[in-house]
Amino acid sequence: ACTIIMNGLAVKACNLFAVQADGAQIMTIEGLAKNGQLHPIQEGFWEKHGLQCGYCTPGMILASYQLLQRYPHPTEAEIRHQLEGNLCRCTGYHNIVKAVQYAAEKMAGK
């Protein structure tokens, strides 16, 4: 839930000192959508039912964002590995993986 993108990496802000972020480029979940339009990853979570209560969603989405920046066409195993540090008690992980695959396909089509 406390995941942010700092200098291109998904990190847990709750484990950082503020001084560690000084001068860093920071993006939160709120910065992912542009001009009121969902980012393809956010859209994927909506379309593929990758969210329920919403507690883990920011962390899942931002970890997925980092993955897709590095590996635009990840395998299911790569997706699961990237998301290992994020726990979801509501959905299980099947739909979350499907959401990331959806986003990868949509982003490749741009």
Residue 89: pLDDT band with limits 50, 70, 90: confident
pTM above 0.85, yes or no: yes
Output the pLDDT for position 110: 65
- Dihedral sign for Cα 45, 47, 48, 50, please: positive
Q: What pLDDT, in 10s, does the model give residues 13-51?
A: 999 999 999 999 999 999 999 999 999 999 999 999 999
Fold classified for 29-108: DNA polymerase; domain 1 (1.10.150)
Domain locations in the chain?
29-108
User: pLDDT > 70: what percent of the chain?
Assistant: 99
The CB density around residue 39, as the number of other CB atoms within 10 Å, is 19
Is the pLDDT at 92 greater than 90? The verdict is no
Cα–Cα dist 49/54, whole Å: 11
Cα–Cα dist 50/57, whole Å: 8
Q: Which residues of 2-13 are buried (b: 16+ CB within 10 A; e: fewer)?
A: ebbbbeeebbee
